[in-house]
Structure 1
Amino acid sequence: MSNLLVAQSGGPTVAINATLVGVLQGVRASGKIDKVYGAKNGIEGAIKDNLIDLNELIRDTKAMDTLTYTPSSALGSCRYKMKDWRKDDEPYRKIIETFKKYDIKYFIYIGGNDSMDTVDKLSEYCSLNNHDFFIMGAPKTVDNDLNLTDHSPGFGSAAKYIATTIAELERDINVYDIPAVTIVEIMGRNAGWLTAAAALARVNGGTGADLIYLCEKDFDNERFIADVKKKLAEKPGVLVAVSEGVKDSTGAYVSDQMSSGAVDNFGHKYIAGAARALEQMVRNEIGCKCRSIELNLMQRAAAHIASETDIIESLMLGQKALTCALDGQTGKMAAIKRLSDKPYLVEFISVPVNEVANHEKVVPMEWITPDGHDVTEEMMDYLKPLIQGETNLKYENGIPSQIKLY
């Protein structure tokens, strides 16, 4: 029997380790894999021959269960951009050397858009250079912006956290009878799915966020101030949810005045600061009390309020990615196809990774209300099933148990 390598990449989520566990469960059920190795820090671990033996580290059901509910990437992550192999094939050759050294025939890469770009390039390199390896992608991203999958693992849990936080903030900001505005910045560079989840705070009858601004719609400062003034005339406490990536009609980010201008390895500008910029705008233009809150990393690390639906689907996608690899598929990504909203039904499929990599799924404009500061019922129907169910976390000394692989 041959061996399998699995790695994780990109921004961590609550559910990324559940996908890893899905792979491990599939391996044990198949009986077709001898050893499972984990690459430390994503594809860099494969390049640098920095692997760990998961057979030794995850020996029993208890360890598997703990790993399922441990947030973030247990194997570590990276932001490594693979160049086209025609221009620089050294990293590719080193990966192949690692595969051969450890008798690895299958590789599953769990990650988001940039990770699927790596799957696409590596599978193409192997195919065109007659290397008999099977490369599969398994989706992950709280941003929910991956193409050809109805939604991505990690998103449902992050949406549940955001909806809960917004509902709790609503209670907090309404205790005083003085005009005040609270602006909550939510992750999303070009896709406003997470910010849209703020509307879920209304499902039990609350008002949730009074104003919701997604990055798909051009942001207008004057319209924003007018919207806030109108809400303040109706109630003293106004709650605003805004995507970190909101930008005006010229393409300039609202956060630019707060940004350092630095970029990551993929050329993405660091854009946090939209809420702080809007806070200053409200103070200058309206003069009332205003505070900004940036949810930041908490959105993707809140395992204590994970969606059971999200965790189960993440496990299934790991199993699907493995099954596809064992069936001889390569250059594909496991994905979710929604069959219906009510009842909520999905099936797990595989899609060509070259149609996922470097594509971005954004919120349909028809799911944003015409006034530009809320979402429609169609969006609510899409979101509601994804936050259903609570996980049965195991606690130790008062906090959830977690596992560390290295």
Structure 2
Amino acid sequence: MPPYLSGNLIIGQSGGATAVINASLVGAVQAALTDKHITGIYGMRHGIEGLLKEDLLDLRQQPSSLWPQLLETPSAALGSCRYKLKDHDLERTIDILRRYNVRFMLYIGGNDSADTAHRLAQAAQQQHYELSILSVPKTIDNDLPLTDHCPGYGSAARFIAQATIDSTLNTTSIPWHYPVKVIETMGRDAGWLTAAAALGKRSELDPPHLLLLPEQPFQQERFLTEIEAIYRRIGYVIIVAAETIRDEKGVALGAVGQTGVDAFQHPLLSGAAQYLVDLVKRELGLRARFDKPGDLQRMASANISLTDRDEAYRVGYNGVQALLEGANDKMVTLLRQPDDVYHCTTGLADLTAVANVQRLLPDTYLNAEKTMVTQAFYDYALPLIGSPLQQPARLEMTRIR
């Protein structure tokens, strides 16, 4: 496709919303508003489902005062979806884009959204319609390949790290009441978010004391032995577990609470934390409870990483620039530069190498027991969460004699 084709731009948001997904939308819109080759700027209501229903917004008609406010607003302003395109949807989708003279498309999302963008790019080529499509990365799971990290992860990681610190303060105030606590994180198959719980850890006493990652099979006897040993040494235990941890047979601990699958056949699980709490009570006789932040880890505006927000804006803005230069069937990537001061530039990766591919937490980021992170993970993740975490003050234990 020749660069600088003129026409309309359409933007969609898909998958689980994040604290900074709107920053990518704002970046894309503000880039498009300044370029003469883009005439209309349309937004899909609820992603590709909205496009199929022709439920579109004219983003040029939004007041200019909206965009700075939206930059700081969590969740998906356009609305999101989890819809897997069926084969018969493809021709209809291209017909709709043709009718609205859409020549540029940005789809903001994760692995499944990359698959949607790739299939549409192929369908447009097969139907001989000049259309440039790019995927803009977004996922708290941080599991997209070929990018240093994913917008959305830094803010969710910051939330989990701070929540682990704060929740532990309740345990340490009266440790004999509930000496074992499980904090359950999101994360389908990759342990990036669970690992982030350790970003506030400075010593053996600091939480978490044990990480349970989806990449590592859960071994019940080993788990119980570790819990008992930590309890005897410290007096309480903080465990951070992914919602999708599985036993050695590959069965999710939360399978008892499974409520089906989504459109992409990913299981909808719940119950891992409850399972672990029940196990500790039954086998060790220790009182235990769990915290389950749920959507808060994706949506907490108070824990937005400014680094994350700035990068989310940049991938949206640079995505539009790449479209105007003729890029197609690719995902915008973040490339960490080997400088003393952290910063990233953007690049492009082929969607054929991104769609439906997951990048798991590498072994180099974990200790030999695969239960805690290494310094390499701190070096990787700390720059992504922005300003330092708030560490608690502690009284000096000087007692009156």
TM-score w.r.t. the length of structure 1 is 0.91
Letter aligned with residue 311 of structure 2: E
**Paired position in structure 1 for 2:237:** 238
Equivalent in 365, 373, 376 of residue 375 of structure 1:
373
Q: Does 1:26 align with 2:16?
A: no
- What corresponds to 1:63 in structure 2? 66
Q: Secondary structure at the match of 2:282?
A: helix
Q: CA deviation at 1:31?
A: 3.1
- Which whole-Å deviations, capped at 9, do the CAs of 1:353-406 have from their partners, x for residues lacking one? 11000100000022211122111111111110000149xxxxxxxxxxxxxxxx
Give the distance between the partners of 1:177 and 1:102, measured in 2 at CA.
62
CA distance in 1, matches of 2:75, 2:252: 28
Identity level (%):
35
Residues 179-208 of structure 1, C-alpha deviation per residue, up to 9 Å, x if partnerless? Answer: 610000101121000000000122599712
| More off after superposition, 247-256 vs 158-167 | 247-256
1:97: how far off? 2.4
Identify the match of residue 341 of structure 2 among 340, 343, 354: 343
Q: Given that residues 48 and 94 in structure 1 are in contact (C-alpha distance below 8 angstroms), is that contact kept between their aligned partners in structure 2?
A: no
Question: Which amino acid letter does the alignment assign opposite residue 211 of structure 1?
Answer: L
- 1:248 corresponds in structure 2 to 247
**What SS is found at the alignment partner of 1:361?**
coil
CA distance in 2, matches of 1:228, 1:206: 14
Q: Distance in 1 between matches of 2:220 and 2:339?
A: 36
Residue equivalent to 1:72:
75
Match of 1:291 in 2: 289
CA spacing shift, 1:133–1:175, aligned 2, 3 Å: same
Residues 229 and 203 of structure 1: CA distance in aligned 2, closer, same or farther (over 3 Å): closer
Aligned residues: 382
Give me the TM-score of the superposition, normalised by structure 2. Answer: 0.92
User: 1:167–1:206: 8 Å Cα contact kept in structure 2?
Assistant: no
Partner of 2:337: helix, strand, or coil?
strand
The within-5 A match list for 1:43-54 is 43-54=48-59
SS at match of 1:183: strand
Q: Which runs of 4+ in 1 moved over 3 A?
A: 203-206
Question: Aligned partners of 1:75, 1:225: CA distance in 2, in Å?
Answer: 46
Residue in structure 1 matched with residue 398 of structure 2 by the alignment: none
Residue 300 of structure 1 pairs with residue 298 of structure 2: yes
1:394 alignment counterpart = none
Q: Distance in 1 between matches of 2:335 and 2:42?
A: 29
Question: What is the CA–CA distance in structure 1 between the aligned matches of 2:50 and 2:85, rounded to whole Å?
Answer: 13
Distance in 2 separating the partners of 1:128 and 1:44 = 22
Q: Which residue of 2 aligns with 1:228?
A: 227
The alpha carbon displacement at 1:264 in A equals 1.2
Give me the whole-angstrom Cα distance separating, in 1, the residues matched to 2:258 and 2:297: 23
Of 13-22 and 229-238, deviating more is: 229-238
Paired letter, 1:81 = K
Equivalent residue for 1:38?
43
8 Å CA contact 2:194, 2:213 repeated in 1: yes
Residue identity in the other structure for 1:222 = E
- Give 5+ residue unaligned stretches, structure 1: 391-406
Amino acid at match of 1:293: D
Does the CA contact (< 8 Å) of 1:198 and 1:241 recur in 2? yes
Partner of 1:209: 208
Name the aligned partner's letter for residue 73 of structure 2: T
Residue 357 of structure 2 is aligned to residue 359 of structure 1: yes
- Counterpart position of 2:391: none
Contact 2:183 2:291 in 1 (8 A): yes
1:17 aligns with 2:29: no
Letter in 2 for 1:194: L
Distance 1:14 1:52 in 2: 22
